Structure 1
Amino acid sequence: MKQPASSGSDGNPRYAGVDERKRKRMISNKESARRSRIRKQQHVESLISQVTQLQNENKLIEEKINNVADVYIGVAIENNVMRAQLSELTDRLRSLNSVLQIAEEVVGYAVDIPEIPDALLEPWQLPCPMQTVAAPASMFQC
């Protein structure tokens, strides 16, 4: 009697090694794919961590920029007030000088009326060299 045809290694020992190698290769491939998925997941988690860190750094930098902008606005406002005061004081000095000139003409008494210094009329043209003003480092830190 003839045996039915068998597939694979059912009856033939020479195919048993092929099936075993195929099974080992499949296991190896599955393990390799699992390790690859783990590496990919770790990489994604690392990128997410980097994004979070960079967002936090950006927030800190933005806060510092806002603080420096606030200081700048305060200095600009103070500068504008001082310019207005300079203008007002210059006008007062001119008025006082006019009064002195009138008094000199009426009374006949010679009064030495000093000229208004150019530095007051044109403060951007300083008569002395510019001096640096040291600002504390804390002024620019949060």
Structure 2
Amino acid sequence: MSSLLRTSLQIDVEARYAMMDEKKRKRMQSNRESAKRSRLKREKRLKDLVTEIAMLKQQIVENNKVYNNLTQRTQLLLSETDSLNYEKMQLAEYLNSLSSVFMSSRLKQTGCLSNQPWQVDGPKQPSITTGMSMS
């Protein structure tokens, strides 16, 4: 009986190993498939990132063009503003000189020698009488 018992135990042990080997084989196969999916996913992600980098580089080039155009436009506008401010200053000086000439001419016409033309010491207006006496 001991040989029969030994044989029975060997069959149980071999069956367990076979069962373990099958589980191990399935687990290894599952790990291989998972690793393959992981590699494919990583490759796709890398490809997507390369595409995104190319798009971002193109966007940088376009944004630089827009920036340069806006910078040039800003410089032109600043130059035009300076020119207009200079012209404004010249016109203000011209207006002041015209105002001085006008005031000088008006002072000569009214006979007022003060700088306050509203205080004119010109000829007095004749008074109008109605012929009625106030007695």
Shorter-normalised TM-score: what interval?
0.5 to 0.7
CA distance in 1, matches of 2:8, 2:41: 45
Match of 2:87 in 1: 89
Cα distance 1:35–1:100, how it changes in 2: closer, same or farther (>3 A)? Answer: same
Counterpart selection for 2:62 from 47, 61, 64: 64
Match of 1:47 in 2: 45
Q: 3-state SS of the aligned residue for 2:84?
A: helix
- Same amino acid, percent of matched pairs: 11
CA distance in 1, matches of 2:82, 2:72: 15
Structure 2: gaps (5+ residues)? 109-135
Match of 1:18 in 2: 16
CA distance in 2, matches of 1:73, 1:13: 87
**1:72-118: CA deviations, max 9, x gaps?**
21121111111122123223434555665677768x9xxxxxxxxxx
Q: 3-state SS of the aligned residue for 1:74?
A: helix
Higher helix share: 2
Q: Which structure has the larger Rg?
A: 2
Structure 1: gaps (5+ residues)? 109-142
Match of 1:112 in 2: none
CA distance in 2, matches of 1:82, 1:34: 71
The count of aligned residue pairs is 103
Q: TM-score, normalised by structure 1?
A: 0.53
Q: 3-state SS of the aligned residue for 1:55?
A: helix
